A and B are shown apart, each in its own frame.
Chain A
Amino acid sequence: GQQLNQSPQSMFIQEGEDVSMNCTSSSIFNTWLWYKQEPGEGPVLLIALYKAGELTSNGRLTAQFGITRKDSFLNISASIPSDVGIYFCAGRQANAGGTSYGKLTFGQGTILTVHP
């Protein structure tokens, strides 16, 4: 099945530092999504990307859809303690319709710890 390689697996950073994480795939995706999950909660959508090369920001978060359509990255600038959580990338295949509609493949997650 689809595999998404997300890295790094975990990060321990100081408050104020910038963070970068990425996902790569062996297959082409037509949608890349980034989610954040906090303890005891479900994943919450942060950023959605729909076009190759697209660069989108949401506050201190910036994400890009790779031009090969096989990768995406997420940057967090000037991290703060509430950025702590697990960040997941998710991608959906490029074929429209059929039984793959809506099926997202998730990366394994990046656990972010921010020290004050």
Chain B
Amino acid sequence: DSGVTQTPKHLITATGQRVTLRCSPRSGDLSVYWYQQSLDQGLQFLIQYYNGEERAKGNILERFSAQQFPDLHSELNLSSLELGDSALYFCASSPPVTDRVFVLANTGELFFGEGSRLTVL
């Protein structure tokens, strides 16, 4: 058990719909990351939040958005769903570091949740 909690574990919906995936990071972790894993795409980075603020953006579609709340949990919103959005969506968290510490002692380990499997029919 990584300590990262994701809900729901499975979700089946129709094209055009909107869903929200939720993530609670490990206790004490300030950073939350979202990844998409499709069968033929490996793990694709979507977005990162650090203590409520967006820190980095990957290949996230405009139809997707995310946010991190004051209690540090995060939500990934997927709208106008298409068949190709069917995938596993993983949330990960990492221990807190300040930018200065980052320069001196770069860790970078991510701890992943079990994922949310989205099926769009």
Interface residues of A, Cβ cutoff 8 Å to B: 1, 30-31, 33, 35, 40-45, 48, 50, 88, 90, 92, 96-97, 99-109
Contact = CB atoms under 8 A, between A and B. Distances in A.
Interface residues of B, number: 32
A104 B2 contact: no
Contacts of B33: 102-103
A102 B2 contact: no
Given A101-B102, A102-B31, A102-B56, A43 B90 contact: yes
Contact of B106 (A45, A50, A106): A50
A102 B42 contact: no
Interface in B63-121: 90, 92, 94, 99, 102-103, 106-115
A30 B106 contact: yes
Contact of B110 (A41, A45, A100): A45
B21 interface: no
B107 to A, nearest CB: 7
Contact of B4 (A31, A42, A88, A107): A42
B58 interface: yes
A42 B50 contact: no
Contacts of A96: 99, 102-103, 106
Nearest to A43: B112
